[in-house]
């Protein structure tokens, strides 16, 4: 039975138990894993094991994160890998730092590269094939984090992934399900077909996936991470691109640099919430939504009550409207982070919300630049240059998305923390494996606004600030998050799920901090999502009682069941110092302590 069907059944049971027993209300959810000495959670048991082994050998959270990230790259090729990029948030000692190792647009990329001569979007051009790929950053990012903070030798932390690639592993139902959905794409690229299919058919659960080329690439990377960006690996990427009208060149690879950026941080109750700054929209809108909730006592309104859900939905609607207008690469634009994350701005937008009635998204607009200017706390004013709200030129219909992108959370004995989300974007990325390297390339270029108002694969629209330019970073929703209380680590969370990442992290955070749930229940609980456009509320079909949904409908919300949600994971620290961790039962991940 697939994990998804398992989930529906366990979800239905959970809902039933919730209805039947009110004390303790969250008893039906899975229990978290507890440990005193360190913990790893990731989307795959073998990747979690790789991280735990490194912690056992005396590695710190960064060492374990490198091992776990590279292991995910081997065992979850459909979600994330060394052909993609991501974001790392870390607390090493007192400071919280963030590293952007997201893909960049190739130096010859151009604004209209996915449009035809008539200015129409060429279907799938930003999603499939060589032209869809951005310059990969995973190896450079991991090497930079390790150079700064790692304790064990680099080759030691790369070793578990080499072993997994060389010796192989048995694929799961989830792998097969993902591969099946991309069967045609994988079969159309000779190297991808060779590695990820048997004569064009997806591997079946239990089949062994051995990746010899990837093992050789990882061995070269273990010698020197720069080998990815220069030398024979880079030449192979350059050659393959030239042969297939792709854009990534040796010059792109050689000039790739990860960037340490200031995380965005804000107060929620007594907690300090830090998350990823632009070029991810995740942190800004997580804080914006928390600020819009403001002092409303959600616990008094009741967990999953219509009043609490209505406020969350309306706050999400406003945040995603602002996202469409103001978010993009901060190295190319002035992004009004300070205003958007200002609690007073959240409070101001809150006043628009009618607590009894849903507002149609057509009546909710991104803030006017003059309004944001009033809330800008930074020395430089918000850019005066406002753009028009995007006009949606085609129906914003996100594809049913599932487990692409991957998150891992790690806490070591000294309470150093890593919250890392990375991706090849849509499942199996561009569907292109560079011959002889085993590197599956991303399709991250789709996260740009490929034309004003044209939604990406997740239904998100964007504007001028997220238009394509050479060397620019596409806007992300990845939201690796770390919460502290009086400087002490309290909670780290992250999730995959495209546009739903931000709202997933938000709800897990609220479940733990506001509703006092343990992290097992917090991660497992049913979720809602609204992203302004399309104007509808996605709900976990089993997660809400019918009366609640009926009341939301009465208030004017368009409710739509969504069966696939990102497999989040989280680690929290209890007052007695114990860690509790949970990997989402929506996927196959595990939390393991030591």
Catalytic residues: 405
CA dihedral 116, 118, 120, 123 (to 10 degrees): -40
Nearest by Cα to 33 from 583, 581, 594, 407: 581
Min CB(81)–ligand GLY separation in Å: 13
- Interface with ligand GLY includes 211 (CB under 6 A)? no
* Residues with Cβ within 8 Å of residue 467, at least 6 apart in sequence: 111, 328, 448, 449, 452
Judge contact between 478 and 494, C-beta under 8 A: yes
Q: Which residue is nearest to ligand GLY (CB)?
A: 476
- Tokens coding 216: 């050789």
Min CB(509)–ligand GLY separation in Å: 18
Q: Which CB sits closer to ligand GLY, 60 or 406?
A: 406
- Interface with ligand GLY includes 405 (CB under 6 A)? yes
Sheet holding 559-561, edge to edge: 528-529, 537-539, 559-561
The CA distance from 155 to 161, in Å, is: 11
Residues 123-162 that bind ligand GLY (CB under 6 A): none
Min CB(446)–ligand GLY separation in Å: 8
Min CB(542)–ligand GLY separation in Å: 25
Please tell me the count of residues contacting ligand GLY according to CB under 6 A.
8
How distant is the alpha carbon of residue 159 from its chain centre?
25
Q: Which CB sits closer to ligand GLY, 323 or 592?
A: 323
- Interface with ligand GLY includes 500 (CB under 6 A)? no
Q: Which CB sits closer to ligand GLY, 442 or 484?
A: 442
Using the rule CB under 6 A, which residue among 35, 156, 423, 590 binds ligand GLY?
A: 423
Min CB(425)–ligand GLY separation in Å: 4
The CA distance from 524 to 546, in Å, is: 19
Q: How far apart are the first and last CA of the chain?
A: 31
Q: Which CB sits closer to ligand GLY, 498 or 520?
A: 498
Judge contact between 422 and 406, C-beta under 8 A: yes
Min CB(9)–ligand GLY separation in Å: 29
Residues 466-495 that bind ligand GLY (CB under 6 A): 476-478
Q: Which CB sits closer to ligand GLY, 435 or 459?
A: 459
- Interface with ligand GLY includes 498 (CB under 6 A)? yes
Residues 546-565 that bind ligand GLY (CB under 6 A): none
Using the rule CB under 6 A, which residue among 41, 42, 68, 425 binds ligand GLY?
A: 425
Judge contact between 483 and 513, C-beta under 8 A: yes
- Tokens coding 354: 């009618």
Min CB(90)–ligand GLY separation in Å: 19
Q: Which CB sits closer to ligand GLY, 436 or 471?
A: 471
User: Sign (positive/negative) of CA torsion 530, 534, 539, 545?
Assistant: positive
CA distances from 169 to 190, 211, 431, 510 (A): 22, 10, 21, 37
The CA distance from 471 to 140, in Å, is: 16
- Interface with ligand GLY includes 419 (CB under 6 A)? no
Q: Which CB sits closer to ligand GLY, 80 or 253?
A: 80
Binding residues for ligand GLY, rule: CB under 6 A, are 405, 423, 425, 447, 476-478, 498
């Amino acid at each position: 039975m697939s994990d998804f069907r398992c989930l529906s059944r366990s979800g239905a049971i959970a809902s039933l138990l919730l209805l039947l027993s009110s004390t303790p209300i969250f008893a039906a959810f899975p229990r978290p894993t507890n440990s005193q000495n360190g913990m790893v959670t990731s989307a795959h048991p073998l990747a979690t094991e790789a991280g735990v082994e490194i912690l056992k050998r005396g590695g710190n959270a960064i060492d374990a994160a490198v091992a776990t990230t590279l292991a995910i790259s081997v065992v979850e090729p459909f979600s994330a890998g060394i052909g993609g990029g991501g974001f790392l948030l870390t607390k090493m000692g007192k400071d919280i730092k963030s590293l952007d190792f997201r893909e960049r647009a190739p130096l010859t990329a151009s604004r209209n590269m996915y449009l035809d001569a008539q200015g129409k979007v060429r279907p799938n051009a930003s999603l499939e094939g060589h032209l869809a790929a951005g310059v990969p950053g995973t190896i450079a990012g991991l090497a930079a984090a390790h150079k700064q903070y790692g304790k064990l030798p680099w080759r030691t932390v790369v070793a578990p992934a080499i072993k997994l690639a060389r010796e192989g592993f048995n694929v799961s139902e989830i792998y097969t399900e993902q591969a099946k959905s991309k069967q045609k794409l994988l079969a159309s690229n000779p190297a991808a077909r060779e590695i990820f299919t048997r004569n064009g058919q997806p591997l079946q659960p239990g089949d062994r996936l051995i990746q010899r080329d990837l093992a050789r690439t990882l061995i070269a990377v273990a010698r020197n991470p720069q080998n990815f960006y220069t030398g024979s690996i880079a030449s192979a990427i350059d050659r393959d691109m030239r042969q297939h009208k792709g854009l990534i060149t040796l010059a792109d690879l050689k000039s790739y640099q990860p960037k340490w950026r200031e995380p965005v941080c804000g107060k929620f109750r007594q907690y300090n919430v830090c998350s990823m700054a632009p070029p991810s929209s995740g942190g800004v809108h997580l804080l914006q939504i928390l600020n819009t909730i403001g002092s409303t006592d959600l616990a008094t309104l009741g967990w999953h009550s219509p009043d609490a859900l209505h406020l969350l939905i309306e706050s999400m609607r406003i945040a995603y409207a602002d996202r469409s207008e103001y978010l993009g690469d901060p190295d190319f634009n002035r992004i009004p982070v300070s205003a958007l994350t200002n609690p007073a701005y959240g409070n101001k937008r809150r006043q628009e919300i009618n607590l009894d009635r849903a507002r149609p998204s057509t009546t909710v607009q991104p803030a006017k630049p003059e309004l944001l200017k009033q809330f800008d706390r930074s020395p430089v004013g918000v850019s005066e240059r406002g753009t028009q709200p995007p006009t949606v030129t085609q129906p914003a219909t996100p594809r049913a998305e599932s487990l692409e992108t991957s998150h891992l959370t790690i806490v070591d004995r000294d309470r150093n923390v890593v919250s890392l989300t990375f991706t090849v974007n849509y499942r199996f990325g561009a569907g292109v494996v560079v011959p002889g390297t085993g590197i599956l390339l991303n399709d991250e270029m789709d996260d740009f606004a490929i034309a004003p108002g044209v939604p990406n694969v997740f239904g998100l629209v964007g504007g001028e600030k997220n238009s394509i330019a050479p060397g620019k970073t596409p806007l992300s929703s990845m939201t690796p998050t770390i919460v502290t209380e009086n400087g002490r680590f309290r909670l780290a969370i992250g999730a995959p799920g495209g546009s739903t990442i931000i709202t997933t992290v938000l709800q897990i955070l609220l479940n733990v901090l506001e509703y006092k749930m343990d992290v097992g229940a917090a991660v497992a609980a049913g979720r809602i999502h609204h992203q302004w456009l399309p104007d509808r509320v996605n709900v976990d079909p089993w997660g809400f009682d019918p009366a609640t949904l009926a009341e939301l409908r009465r208030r004017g919300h368009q409710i739509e069941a969504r069966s696939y949600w990102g497999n989040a994971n989280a680690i929290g620290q209890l007052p007695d110092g114990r860690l509790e961790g949970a990997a989402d039962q929506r996927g196959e991940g595990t939390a393991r302590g030591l």
